[in-house]
A = this chain, B = another copy of it.
Amino acid sequence: MTRLLMLLLIVALTISSATAEPFRKVLSSVKQNVQVGDWKLSPADAKLKGNWSVRQRELHGGKQDGVRIIEVDNGTLQMTVVPTRGMSILRVVSGEVHLGWNSPVKEVVNPKFINLQSKGGLGWLDGFNEWMVRCGLESAGHPGKDSFTNNVGDEATLELTLHGKIGNIPASEVQVIVDDKPPHRIRIRGRVDERSFYGAQLEIWTEVSTVPGSKVFRIDDVITNRGAAEQEFQVIYHANHGAPLMEKGARLLAPVKRVTPFNQYAAKSVATWDVYPAPTPGFVERVYCLYPLADADGRTLVMLQNAAADKAVSFAYPVKQLPYLTQWKNALPLGGGYVTGIEPGTGFPANRSVERKAGRVPKLKPGQSRRFTLDVGLHAGGAAVKAVAAKIKKIQGDQKVQVDTKTTIVK
């Protein structure tokens, strides 16, 4: 009976999609040799009604010369995607709930001015100010030596750079799509290629989408091995939050089976991993490695809430896709980097050599893909936040949390 219903549903969808003609605008394309400049889309342009808009702007001046940003306003929620910086999401706002942070890096830096190898492989930090930047794809974690096979077949060492390249590669294809069918989901799609000879041959099709009037949006990405041989990949969704969510007394709510400090320094305060301190001069980052639990559908749900528990952001996603969750607590003084990263990933952000040894570096066969779907919600008001907290509590159920007092990640 269920199968019959499913079948009917598929048939219905196929018919409707055959007749459907979503609005589609190519903003940038290597294939078509197209680059649109400043551009704006209203519902009328897409032969639809509503109170939303999509806008592309080119930035000028300083290091942001030539960067393009896409601003989506769904009527309730505004979000900004940066095609020039690997389809990162610069910020998201819904009323009083803001996703983003006050980085010392003020400009949206064009990758042409970034040298990832600067400062011992920390050059990535020269452009780091997004709400969400993907780390990956060849490597996603800490800089430092890892081994690889070089062009003459020898085992060689290479110096990986912090969090990989994908966040500093301009997208090769960028499209805006608006579904012709209700609820007329607005989709910003971009393909970012990480390709080299004797190197990564990986592609990520990113999609950030939202439904007009809603307070949620979806990240829906597909990573594909475009090479002729099996290859490793890594991805971490590095989502960063300052005010108004991070503050003294803010909390991370997550159903977990285990919490492990990233290093011995973080181990000292593992007992209070889920609570945030006030801005603290001289604070050194504390990173905790979480193993999330899932509900019956295999989905986990985590939430960062402010001290009053009346503003929050939640992330819901299949644990199988992203089995590891990194929490980065960086309680530096305001303006210097008071920020917390909530980072679902295929692994933790240790150097790839460490991750490989721990079995946390997945592989893709030639042509094989893996999908990553995260639903992100912005919550305002005590009741809304409480409702999410209840769901998280339900996933945790009576399963105990193993809190490690020593690191097992970086020794």
Do B104 and A201 have beta carbons less than 8 Å apart?
A: yes
C-alpha spacing A128/B198, complex, angstroms: 10
Known contacts A196-B125, A198-B125, A228-B281, A120 near B30 by CB under 8 Å: no
Q: Beta-carbon contacts of A92-110 to B below 8 Å, as 1s and 0s?
A: 0000000000011111001
Nearest chain B residue, comparing its CB with the CB of A284? B153
Of the candidates A106, A171, A265, the one having the most CB atoms from chain B within 10 angstroms of its own CB is A106
A261 CB, nearest partner CB in chain B, Å:
12
C-alpha spacing A166/B112, complex, angstroms: 16
Of the candidates A30, A64, A148, the one having the most CB atoms from chain B within 10 angstroms of its own CB is A30
Do B60 and A33 have beta carbons less than 8 Å apart?
A: yes
- Residue A46 at the chain B interface, CB threshold 8 Å: no
Do A285 and B228 have beta carbons less than 8 Å apart?
A: no
Do B173 and A61 have beta carbons less than 8 Å apart?
A: yes
Known contacts A30-B61, A228-B335, A197 near B120 by CB under 8 Å: no
- Residue A232 at the chain B interface, CB threshold 8 Å: no
Do B104 and A30 have beta carbons less than 8 Å apart?
A: no
C-alpha spacing A198/B198, complex, angstroms: 33
Do B115 and A115 have beta carbons less than 8 Å apart?
A: yes
- Which of B34, B107, B157, B172 interacts with A193 by CB under 8 Å? B107
Q: How many residues of chain A are within 8 Å of chain B by beta carbon?
A: 76
A interface: dominant SS? loop
B contact residues around A60 at 8 Å (CB): 28-30, 33-35
Do B33 and A332 have beta carbons less than 8 Å apart?
A: no
List A15-56 residues whose CB lies under 8 Å from chain B: 28-35
- Residue A65 at the chain B interface, CB threshold 8 Å: yes
B contact residues around A272 at 8 Å (CB): none
Q: Beta-carbon contacts of A305-344 to B below 8 Å, as 1s and 0s?
A: 0000000000000000000000000001111110000000
C-alpha spacing A63/B195, complex, angstroms: 11
List A139-154 residues whose CB lies under 8 Å from chain B: 148, 150-153
C-alpha spacing A276/B115, complex, angstroms: 39
- Which of B34, B64, B103, B125 interacts with A30 by CB under 8 Å? B64
Known contacts A30-B64, A120-B156, A104 near B335 by CB under 8 Å: no
Do B229 and A281 have beta carbons less than 8 Å apart?
A: yes
- Which of B104, B116, B150, B263 interacts with A227 by CB under 8 Å? B104
- Which of B35, B126, B337 interacts with A61 by CB under 8 Å? B35
- Residue A189 at the chain B interface, CB threshold 8 Å: no
Nearest chain B residue, comparing its CB with the CB of A59? B33
Nearest chain B residue, comparing its CB with the CB of A190? B62
B contact residues around A227 at 8 Å (CB): 104, 335-336
Closest 8 A/B residue pairs (Cβ): A228-B336, A62-B172, A153-B284, A35-B60, A228-B333, A30-B61, A125-B197, A112-B112
